[in-house]
Structure 1
Amino acid sequence: MRIDLKKMCFAATTAVAVVPLGQANAYESGSPGTQVPPGIAIGNTTAATPGTGIYMFDQFWTYQAKIVGPGAPNVGGAATTVNVNAATPGFLFVPGWTFLGATYDAVIVQPFANADTGAPVSTMKTGVHNTFVVPVELSWKLGQSGFFVKTGLGIGVPDGTISGVNGLGNVGNPWWTFRPELIVSYLNEGWNLTAAFYYETNTRNSITNYRSGDVLDSEFAVTKQFGKWTLGVLGYYVAQVGNDSSSAFYGNAISANRFHEGAVGGLVGYNFGPVQLNVFGFREVSAGASGGSPTPFVTDRAAVTQGYKLFANVSYRMWAPDPPVTPIKPQIFK
């Protein structure tokens, strides 16, 4: 088996480590808000595809936040806390196929999460989140310019741990999610300048018939390699761009018709040879929500989380095709 470390991709996938619970009450009450938490992929993503093989990645992350917004619950004026810890193993498959001049790959990720929310919400959730698959990603190398373009479609499958009267009593979501992507990278002389855009849309909750509005997630990275080290700055901005559609289950009330979050962060990576380690984090510098239906206690029940995220990702190639064997020409002596 041949391992080509120069082609090994620490940025194994654009779908790396998808875990729920990025927001609180930004969508249907009790839902995470997005299938893929903002910022989770940009520390490991470029528009290029690694060499032929099967790759595995393991990502661990934590999110420490408070619920903010006009409908944020509190006790004695203190903000409600949110704590998330998650692990997400996944696989990237690069069979060596090409289509329309692009390199093909596919991804599958299975997240596991634990989340708790402080008083007065007081919830604890532990289980399996929805499986996330990217059956098709296509990456184009634009000549010798250093630019790469990738597009694909991610799908969240409603097979996670689902419980409760509305299906949101645990970390699974009772709906399908579709997440097309567009990623552009400039990769040259150790520089990585990447912009990634994801559009997330959901089907209706199969139990309540509530449908959460569409979301646009924009993520950015500027990193530079120094020998085996990689250093850089990261950022993201995510916003709900489509209205929620409520149902009779909630008396047609809306949790939030709009939310946004913006964050800045940094990355440190080290190449150990067969394994690449990336550690990166974000501080959410802005967050807000609006458009929630009024209650007897608040005129707008919309809320969203704001806090800190820290990720650690290891990736490695599990298998690569053996190099072709060059036949040895017989030597003839006269």
Structure 2
Amino acid sequence: MNVTRPLHALAVGLAVLGLTAATHATESGSPTTAFGVYDFGAGFTPPPTPHGTLGLRSNFYRATSIRDSHGRDNGNDFSIDVLSLGLAYLKMTDTRVLGARYGFGGVQPFFRMDADLTVKANGVPVFADSATLFRQADIQVIPLILQWEPSRNLGVNFWFQVQAPTGDYEKNRLVNPGTNHWTVSPMLNLSYISDSGFEVSSSFQTDFNSRNPATDYRSGTEYRHEFAVGQHFGPWTAGLGGYYYRQLTDDDAPGLTRGNRARVLALGPALSFFQPGLPAVWVHLYKEVDARNRAEGYAFAVRLSHSF
């Protein structure tokens, strides 16, 4: 059911010629792959169809503050708006691997990014930069999807995703749709729906990043847990969703003296619609809290998918 994969860095931060390198985690302060993607139905993929499933995802992210390692605003003037648009394709088959249906897919995202930054020293502006662009982001290839359904109430699937550095990238630009490095991401998704229609869904993902050859920067390993709980009412499901993100290992770069590990929690209302034969729809609005070493903002997402 949930076929729209991450479009990558929804919460893009700010690295400007090293001036703010100690205030955020991962290169440019951005998660390598996006979160806020999986909510209801995460443990189920579409059944095999002749032509597969197309998904369209639109997400708007806005942040106006950067949090330091203690969760305080770092004192710089900052704002960023990111509108991400992506087309996903998923093909499930009748082929069985380890008792699961096999599938594959991919996502091509595009970002419209509008960012402004003023760096201050003792309250006095010492540097300012801005950027507005609409460019291609990194493509994500999913060569392996395995779908198990141990019972009619439980769905479990495993994804193996490779994100390639195909997105637009300039070393000294304030924000970039592309990361200029490879990322490998295994993920496990589960959904349980009781006979009364109560649903609990979760997605667990880890990102392993290679080094950016343009900057010699390697972002630490990233972990995220996305979740949703809600009640089914006919074809509708309504409830609460969110994500927890945490960087597990330190960044590694020349001259970097601290690990810059990031974390954030997001919560908000989530709604979905699923009825066989009609396009499936997911909507959510998440507010981020308790951010460390990264931007803190909110995200509104609308996702559509349809099988052919």
- Per the shorter chain, which TM-score range? 0.7 to 0.9
Q: Which residue in 1 is equivalent to 2:289?
A: 285
TM-score by length of 1: 0.78
| CA deviation after TM superposition for structure 1 residue 275, in Å | 1.1
Q: Which amino acid aligns with 2:220?
A: G
| CA deviation after TM superposition for structure 1 residue 269, in Å | 2.4
| CA deviation after TM superposition for structure 1 residue 243, in Å | 0.7
On the 8 A contact 1:19/1:112 being kept in 2, the answer is no
Give the 3-state SS of the residue equivalent to 2:262 in structure 1. strand
For 1:21 and 1:219, the matched residues in 2 are separated by: 14
Matched, 1:115 2:136: no
Aligned ranges 1:34-73 → 2 under 5 Å: 34-39=31-36, 41-43=37-39, 45-53=41-49, 54-70=52-68
Give the 3-state SS of the residue equivalent to 1:130 in structure 2. coil
Aligned ranges 1:229-248 → 2 under 5 Å: 229-247=236-254
| CA deviation after TM superposition for structure 1 residue 278, in Å | 1.6
For 2:210 and 2:38, the matched residues in 1 are separated by: 26
| CA deviation after TM superposition for structure 1 residue 281, in Å | 1.3
Q: Which residue in 1 is equivalent to 2:157?
A: 150
On the 8 A contact 1:12/1:45 being kept in 2, the answer is no
| CA deviation after TM superposition for structure 1 residue 312, in Å | 0.6
Q: Which residue in 2 is equivalent to 1:20?
A: 9
Rate the CA distance shift 1:134–1:254 in 2: closer, same or farther, 3 A: farther
| CA deviation after TM superposition for structure 1 residue 114, in Å | 1.2
Q: Which residue in 2 is equivalent to 1:105?
A: 103
TM-score by length of 2: 0.84
For 2:257 and 2:141, the matched residues in 1 are separated by: 29
| CA deviation after TM superposition for structure 1 residue 284, in Å | 0.8
For 1:256 and 1:21, the matched residues in 2 are separated by: 22
Q: Which amino acid aligns with 2:284?
A: F
Residue of 241, 256, 261 corresponding to 1:258? 261
Give the 3-state SS of the residue equivalent to 2:39 in structure 1. helix
| CA deviation after TM superposition for structure 1 residue 45, in Å | 4.5
Matched, 1:170 2:176: yes
| CA deviation after TM superposition for structure 1 residue 142, in Å | 1.6
Q: Which amino acid aligns with 1:314?
A: L
Matched, 1:199 2:189: no
Rate the CA distance shift 1:228–1:140 in 2: closer, same or farther, 3 A: closer
For 2:46 and 2:131, the matched residues in 1 are separated by: 41
Gaps of 5+ in 1: 1-8, 290-303, 319-334
For 2:298 and 2:84, the matched residues in 1 are separated by: 14
Rate the CA distance shift 1:60–1:21 in 2: closer, same or farther, 3 A: closer
Q: Which amino acid aligns with 1:90?
A: A
| CA deviation after TM superposition for structure 1 residue 193, in Å | 1.0
On the 8 A contact 1:24/1:67 being kept in 2, the answer is no
What is the count of residue pairs matched by the alignment? 282
On the 8 A contact 2:39/2:242 being kept in 1, the answer is no
For 1:125 and 1:235, the matched residues in 2 are separated by: 28
Give the 3-state SS of the residue equivalent to 1:80 in structure 2. strand
Gaps of 5+ in 2: 15-23, 119-128
For 2:45 and 2:83, the matched residues in 1 are separated by: 29
Q: Relative to total residues, which structure has the larger strand share, 1 or 2? A: 2
Rate the CA distance shift 1:152–1:276 in 2: closer, same or farther, 3 A: closer
Rate the CA distance shift 1:256–1:129 in 2: closer, same or farther, 3 A: farther
Q: Which residue in 2 is equivalent to 1:135?
A: 143
For 2:93 and 2:303, the matched residues in 1 are separated by: 23
Q: Which residue in 1 is equivalent to 2:305?
A: 315
Q: Which amino acid aligns with 2:208?
A: T
For 1:46 and 1:148, the matched residues in 2 are separated by: 8
Larger radius of gyration: 1
Q: Which residue in 2 is equivalent to 1:330?
A: none
Give the 3-state SS of the residue equivalent to 2:264 in structure 1. strand
Residue of 222, 228, 234 corresponding to 1:227? 234
1:120-144 deviation digits (Å, cap 9, x = unpaired): 1423332111001111011222245
CA RMSD of aligned residues (A): 2.3
1:266-288 deviation digits (Å, cap 9, x = unpaired): 11223474212221110112211
1:258-304 deviation digits (Å, cap 9, x = unpaired): 11100111112234742122211101122112xxxxxxxxxxxxxx1
Q: Which residue in 1 is equivalent to 2:168?
A: 161
For 1:44 and 1:184, the matched residues in 2 are separated by: 10
For 1:209 and 1:183, the matched residues in 2 are separated by: 33
Rate the CA distance shift 1:266–1:254 in 2: closer, same or farther, 3 A: farther
